[in-house]
């Protein structure tokens, strides 16, 4: 898997260099029609070398910075995503049960108890593990998963995440996330410039157009990197999910609970989707698909049906439906520090920050997590 990761990463860098060179050559040809876009005479090789150096250096630098950030431990990754740590003495029933389940699986796996986190306000049913080693690892689930799974099913999901820790998948996930950030960095800069060009109402029209065109060009180049990044994620993570499901059966000695947990996700309307923008670069580390993909072969996870059939070959095809928890609609406007941070993250991810404040899930008083 690591060899595949290196080869695909190099292929992504080559694709970015080729796309950037083609973009620059086309721009120069439009400015000077006498300049042939297909000729490598003169100083063209020097131009290609400069472009290759700039792209490779940028990708490597961003990936290195990201690696340093994420190698600080699983808790750094969890807090980067806005997760909250659950203390051992929590007085909330569901959170205490979740903490007890993590301790049980740690005992069964003969490893230290990892940090226990959850993502508040995420109605999608999902989970992930993170950390460079078992000593600094964490397990995190979404609030939607805590609300809709019973104890045995929750134990199955936690056991699935423990498999990723024990097999070294979490370390590989950090490497992969760092490389993906490096590859998609150019597209991120392009989206930021596009947003900046649209928001500069007081500046000159020519300046706005120039910034927008530059942003559009970088975004188009970044789309090449994004394509390779998603391809890398899907190539590396699919088989590991099947293995983690099998390991969850081994840990819990309860194959039905593992299959039922996946069936509940299959019968749940928000499925396993996660709204926070930071989840995209770490999508390969989650229990289920973070965002839907039009092309199945680009998905980071195997189909839900295939995962269930691996555990229960005689499955009748029926999902499990649970009564959905009703979430309160938050007040609009980024008038709190938390919303301000979400807006900033949305801008960096290239999304419209207003979309993050229209009814996203907040747990109501009837939520089991809040007692």
Contact criterion met (CB below 8 Å) for 19 and 221: yes
DSSP string across 59-87? HHHHHHHHHHHHTT-HHHHHHHTT-EEPP
Measured distance CA(130)–CA(83) in Å, rounded = 12
Dihedral of CA 287/288/291/295: which sign?
positive
Contact criterion met (CB below 8 Å) for 207 and 252: no
The pair of three-digit structure tokens given for residue 185, joined into one six-digit string: 């960095």
* Long-range contact pairs involving 263-266 (C-beta distance under 8 Å, separation at least 24): 263/308, 263/318, 263/319, 263/320, 264/125, 264/148, 264/149, 264/153, 264/319, 264/320, 264/322, 265/125, 265/304, 266/304, 266/305, 266/308, 266/319, 266/320
Q: Which residues pair with 128 in a beta bridge?
A: 140, 286
Instruction: Tell me whether residue 161 is one of the annotated catalytic residues.
Output: yes
The pair of three-digit structure tokens given for residue 85, joined into one six-digit string: 């740590």
Among 47, 161, 305, 321, the active-site one is: 161
360: DSSP letter: -
The DSSP H or E segment spanning 363 is strand 362-363
271: DSSP letter: T
DSSP string across 199-239? H--SS-HHHHHHHHHHHHHHHHHHHHHHHHHHHHHHHHHHH
Q: Which residues pair with 52 in a beta bridge?
A: none
Measured distance CA(128)–CA(82) in Å, rounded = 13
Active site residues: 161
């Amino acid at each position: 898997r690591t060899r595949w990761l290196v080869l695909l990463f190099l292929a992504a860098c080559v694709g970015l260099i080729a796309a950037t060179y083609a973009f620059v050559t086309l721009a120069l040809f439009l400015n000077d029609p006498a300049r042939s876009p297909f000729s490598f005479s003169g100083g063209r090789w020097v131009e290609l070398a400069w472009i290759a150096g700039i792209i490779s250096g940028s990708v490597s630098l961003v990936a290195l910075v990201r690696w340093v950030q994420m190698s600080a431990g699983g808790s750094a990754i969890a807090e980067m995503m806005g997760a909250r740590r659950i203390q051992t003495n929590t007085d909330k029933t569901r959170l205490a049960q979740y903490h007890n389940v993590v301790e049980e699986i740690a005992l069964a796996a003969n490893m230290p108890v990892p940090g226990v986190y959850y993502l508040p306000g995420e109605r999608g049913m999902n989970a992930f593990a993170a950390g460079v080693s078992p000593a600094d690892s964490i397990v995190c689930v979404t609030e939607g998963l805590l609300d809709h799974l019973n104890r045995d099913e929750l134990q199955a999901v936690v056991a699935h995440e423990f498999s990723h820790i024990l097999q070294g998948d979490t370390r590989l996930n950090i490497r992969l996330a760092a490389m993906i950030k490096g590859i998609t960095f150019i597209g991120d800069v392009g989206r930021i410039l596009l947003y900046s060009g649209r928001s500069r109402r007081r500046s000159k029209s020519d300046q706005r157009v120039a910034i927008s065109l530059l942003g559009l060009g970088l975004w188009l180049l970044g789309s090449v990197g994004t394509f390779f990044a998603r391809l890398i994620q899907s190539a590396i993570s699919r088989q590991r999910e099947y293995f983690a499901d099998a390991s969850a059966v081994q840990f819990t000695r309860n194959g039905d609970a593992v299959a039922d947990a996946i069936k509940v996700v299959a019968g749940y309307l928000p499925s396993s989707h996660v709204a926070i923008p930071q989840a995209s670069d770490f999508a390969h580390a989650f229990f289920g698909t973070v965002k839907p993909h039009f092309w199945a072969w680009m998905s980071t996870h195997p189909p839900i049906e295939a995962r269930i059939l691996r555990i229960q070959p005689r499955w009748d095809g029926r999902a499990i439906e649970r009564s959905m928890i009703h979430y309160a609609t938050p007040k609009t406007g980024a008038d709190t520090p938390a919303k301000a941070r979400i807006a900033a993250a949305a801008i960096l991810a290239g999304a419209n920050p207003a979309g993050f404040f229209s009814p996203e899930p907040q747990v109501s008083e009837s939520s089991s997590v809040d007692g």
